[in-house]
Amino acid sequence: MAGRFSFRKVTSPPVEPALPDDAAAAPDGIAWTVFPEGEPETAAVLAPPPPPPPPPPAPVVVAPANPVLRDKLLDAKVRLHRRLIEEINLSALEKLPEEEIRKHIQQLVAQYVLVERLALNTQELSDFVTEILDEMTGLGPIEPLLKDASISDILINGHECVYVERGGLLEPTAVRFKDETHLLRIVNKIVSAVGRRVDESHPLCDARLLDGSRVNVAVRPVAVDGPLVSIRKFSKKPLHLNKLVDVGALRPQMAELLAALVKARVTTIISGGTGSGKTTMLNALSAFISDKERLITIEDAAELQLQQPHVARMETRPPNVEGKGEIRQRDLVKNALRMRPERIILGECRGEEAFDMLQAMNTGHEGSMATIHANNPREAISRLEQMIGMAGLPMTIASVRGQIAAAIRIVVQLSRLSDGKRKVMSIAEITGMEGDIIQMQEIFKFVRTATLEDGTVQGHFVATGVRPRVLTELTAKGIKIPSNYFDPGHPL
Ligand SMILES: Nc1ncnc2c1ncn2[C@@H]1O[C@H](COP(=O)(O)OP(=O)(O)OP(=O)(O)O)[C@@H](O)[C@H]1O
Ligand SMILES: [Mg+2]
């Protein structure tokens, strides 16, 4: 059977090609097998989170349906907010527990509502109090979105347009900021919490919310229509690999193989587009690392939630306002090598650190893992080649490829499909080099058969019929995977 089929670049769409036996060396230097093309990316952005700093005078938010009521409420909130700022000692208030503050504000609001003759029912009154409270101590209009566990991303495009991602799909919300100044105030609250600021001379900033969510901010002049804020919410409950199987991201046989590979310290990279679930998969796989190993994680914004007891976490640092003090991923990878790690987990490999990462993988830190932005496994390898090029070392392309082929054994490819579902599109094995061509073979893949009118993707997971070479290594380490998992046509 097409034991290790060969190479054929897949340039065309979701028609499932027959496993080819003809081999043609790909011009990009990666011998190739049958991979489904990556889904077009439509995803959202990411960002880290902050805590609540001191409140300056400002207005409030609104979402409601009736525009007359909405304007009246908005107006009332702005006035009430000003009054509260004038009348109460905010810094003293902020030290109180949230329940106390709430009681305090509730009393003031109740009085105010009477005086102003606002017709609010109990629910509206309670919402009003919550909004005033969010405004004073939290992040204003987006607080409810941050609390909503079904939302994974919050994307603010200027003060009048806020989108969220739910179940993998973007949807508009009725959340509004009063004006640009209001939004900027919230933005500054976020970034000042991580000791940064944004203005015309520093219009871009990464930050993190108190709960660990990632935030990216862009303001004028780079953001043409007003501040752009992208928040990737921190998922409090990391998805376990079994859960990923339950939601249909992969089949149990694939999960069993991946878990075995992690246990056996087979070096794996996770590839995918923006928001395709790379970090989630990395987290899920890390659960299979032995408790006895020392792990070092390197990230821009610490998102990984490893369960092992012996984890040393490191985070990069952007340059300060004077442009000094930057600590890059490459610095951290090099440093990690002096910290006696057993495995290094790199949140996202995206530049010059690729070279040091591969070195580490090749020199006793097998089982290290990283994610990479790419639409298919072949592209992931090409991107690695480019990244190694960025390190500016005098290496020939053949030796770069040799390093890659020696270091990485498995590529897990993820995609977010048009219906918002995240799936493992492919599990591919790197089997070595032939000449200066990297040999790769696909073990499992998702075959997309149709897309319904509402965008729902239909398809199934299949084994390509290739028996992974790494099975020999697994067997030697006492891990058995039933060989029928790899039979072609075996229902997964
Ligand atoms: N299989 C899945 N099913 C449902 N939701 C998922 C799945 N995988 C990931 N998610 C959710 O999708 C969102 C994005 O996932 P994640 O952060 O892992 O993506 P990513 O590829 O690392 O994104 P980025 O490129 O921005 O770093 C998260 O909210 C996560 O909880
Ligand atoms: Mg990620």
Mean pLDDT across the stretch 22-30? 50
Q: Whose CA is nearest to atom 8 of ligand 1?
A: 277
* Paired residues of 345 in beta bridges: 297, 369
Rounded distance between C-alpha atoms, residue 400 and residue 275, angstroms: 29
The predicted-structure confidence for 215-253, as pLDDT tens digits, reads as follows 999 999 999 999 999 999 988 888 899 999 999 999 999
Provide DSSP, 357-385. Answer: HHHHHHTT-TT-EEEEE-SSHHHHHHHHH
CA 209 to centroid of ligand 2, rounded, Å: 16
Nearest Cα residue to 300 out of 333, 264, 254: 333
Distance 101 CA to ligand 2 centre (A): 36
CA of 277 to the centre of ligand 1 (A): 3
d(CA 491, CA 460): 9
pTM over 0.75: yes
Protein residue closest via CA to atom 28 of ligand 1: 152
Cα 188 to Cα 194: distance, rounded to the nearest angstrom: 10
Best mean pLDDT range from 56-70, 82-96, 185-199: 185-199
Predicted confidence (pLDDT) per residue in 279-299, tens digit = 999 999 999 999 999 999 999
Q: How far is the CA of 152 from the centre of ligand 2 (A)?
A: 12
Q: CB within 8 A of 138, min separation 6: which ones?
A: 52, 146
Exposure string over 277-307, b if 16+ CB within 10 A, otherwise e? bbbbbbbbbbbbbeeeeebbbbbbbbbbbbe
Ligand at shortest distance from the CA of 281:
1
pLDDT digits (tens, 9 = 90+) for 310-365: 999 999 988 877 888 899 999 999 999 999 999 999 999 989 899 999 988 888 89
Average pLDDT in the 455-465 region?
92
Pocket of ligand 1 (CB under 6 A): 46, 152, 232, 235, 244, 247, 249, 272, 274-280, 422
Chain segment 406-418, per-residue pLDDT in tens: 999 999 999 999 9
Return the top range by mean pLDDT from 13-17, 63-67, 177-181, 352-356: 352-356
Average pLDDT over residues 258-277: 95
List the residue whose alpha carbon is closest to atom 12 of ligand 1. 277
Mean pLDDT score of the chain: 82
Better pLDDT: 479 or 301: 479
**Choice among 69-78, 256-265, 285-294 with the minimum mean pLDDT:** 69-78
Distance 40 CA to ligand 1 centre (A): 16
Atom of ligand 1 nearest to the CA of 282: 18
Helix (H) or strand (E) holding 131: helix 122-137
pLDDT band at 58 (very low <50, low <70, confident <90, very high): very low
pLDDT in tens, 374-402: 999 999 999 999 999 888 888 889 999 99
Q: Residue 327's pLDDT is what?
A: 93
3-class DSSP state of 77: helix
Ligand nearest to the CA of 280: 1
Q: Which residue is listed with tokens 């179940």?
A: 167
Closest ligand to 373 CA?
A: 1
Predicted local distance difference test score (pLDDT) of residue 48: 40
How far is residue 10's CA from residue 217's CA, in Å, rounded to a whole number? 37
